[in-house]
Chains A and B, each alone.
Chain A
């Protein structure tokens, strides 16, 4: 694959962003294994977790090829430090209660469906292929969390209130998914990725529709957290990485 050095660096950073989002959220979701409120949800959340880890693996493998420094997807997952992770802060927050997990899944899945719908038309065949696959899986993830948004919002006063609290807490973290910077601009100019401004508008429309149907109020706040995309994270990322990476780092050649 022939790419300018500048584009290659931008592409590597972008791939880390979308891969790390999935890797970290996949690990967060796996914390529900054995703790789901009902058996069906235990199974659903861990299945979604597996899909996300699989997508992360494919994107990281491609990132490693783009980087061209003989690293593998495992090297990227297990031997990077906090500052090298480029996921948005939204995905690293602790799992919270079930409403918190559902609201975050809904925000993230809705973003992924819109992003992958565009990425499947990327001028880079491999990025398009992995994203077309991710889109199919994520459509089911979105359906899952959307249905739960409706049920929690239209359930009891407590379920609606818990969902509203989760939305209020998460809202300031959603802006970072649509961060526009030089990386996004360079790549969208080459039709490698879509414009995030466009995706952001569609996301807001779809989220507003879901909120109306779930009797949830849109938080009125202008402030949005950022920093994750350039490696500045909340304290929570270090903890999840230490759990995730300790085995491989302690026994680098360990085989299952």
Chain B
């Protein structure tokens, strides 16, 4: 079978984020591009958070997955521009997050000072109530905040907009 960029992207879509195993690394926006340099496959990726410990594992998984599928040489390049943002998650992806029990991210704002003083109203992924309160901006991973639903009395996580 002739390998195209599309087939490679298909393989990469089978790799799930180790911390949020309902999303794959392509829909997360971690994979930025795939191209060939002669026989070599080059995959460019961008980190979600600078210190995300899952990135190393994701890199290993990419190389392993492509080798399994017959790619000879694989090169990974980390790029920082454009900066990863939760705005890249589309509606289907956000729905998956909600069904998994994580409240999906709001659209980002550029105003750093508004963000400091006004935490947004986040809806509970279980009962959709907006009667929720922020417990901490940091949770089991850097990308999520900890919330509590005052309607169904359930703690839950919110995927922070960034």
Contact = CB atoms under 8 A, between A and B. Distances in A.
B147 to A, nearest CB: 12
Contacts of B69: none
B139 A43 contact: yes
Given A125-B81, A126-B80, A129-B79, A57 B50 contact: yes
A136 interface: yes
Nearest to A134: B50
B83 interface: yes
A16 B93 CA distance: 39
A144 interface: yes
Contact of B137 (A52, A125, A133, A144): A144
A77 B146 CA distance: 33
Given A55-B51, A137-B49, A44 B137 contact: yes
B80 A58 contact: yes
Contact of A54 (B50, B136, B141): B50
A130 B80 contact: yes
A129 B51 contact: no
Contacts of B152: none
A242 B161 CA distance: 38
A114 B72 CA distance: 45
Nearest to B52: A54
Given A50-B51, A129-B83, A137-B162, A43 B138 contact: yes
B50 A133 contact: yes
Given A47-B141, A133-B50, 12 more contacts: A43-B136, A43-B138, A43-B146, A47-B138, A49-B51, A52-B51, A54-B51, A117-B112, A133-B83, A135-B112, A136-B162, A139-B116
Interface size class of B (residues with CB under 8 A): 20 to 34
A52 B51 CA distance: 7
Interface size class of A (residues with CB under 8 A): 20 to 34
Contacts of A166: none
A58 B81 contact: no
**Chain A interface SS verdict (over half):** helix
Contacts of A146: 116
30 contacts: A40-B135, A40-B136, A43-B136, A43-B138, A47-B139, A48-B138, A50-B142, A51-B50, A54-B51, A57-B50, A57-B51, A58-B50, A113-B112, A128-B81, A129-B80, A129-B81, A130-B50, A132-B80, A133-B50, A133-B84, A134-B50, A136-B83, A136-B85, A136-B162, A137-B49, A137-B142, A139-B112, A140-B138, A142-B112, A143-B115
Contacts of A135: 112
B32 interface: no
A53 interface: yes
Interface in B68-105: 79-81, 83-85
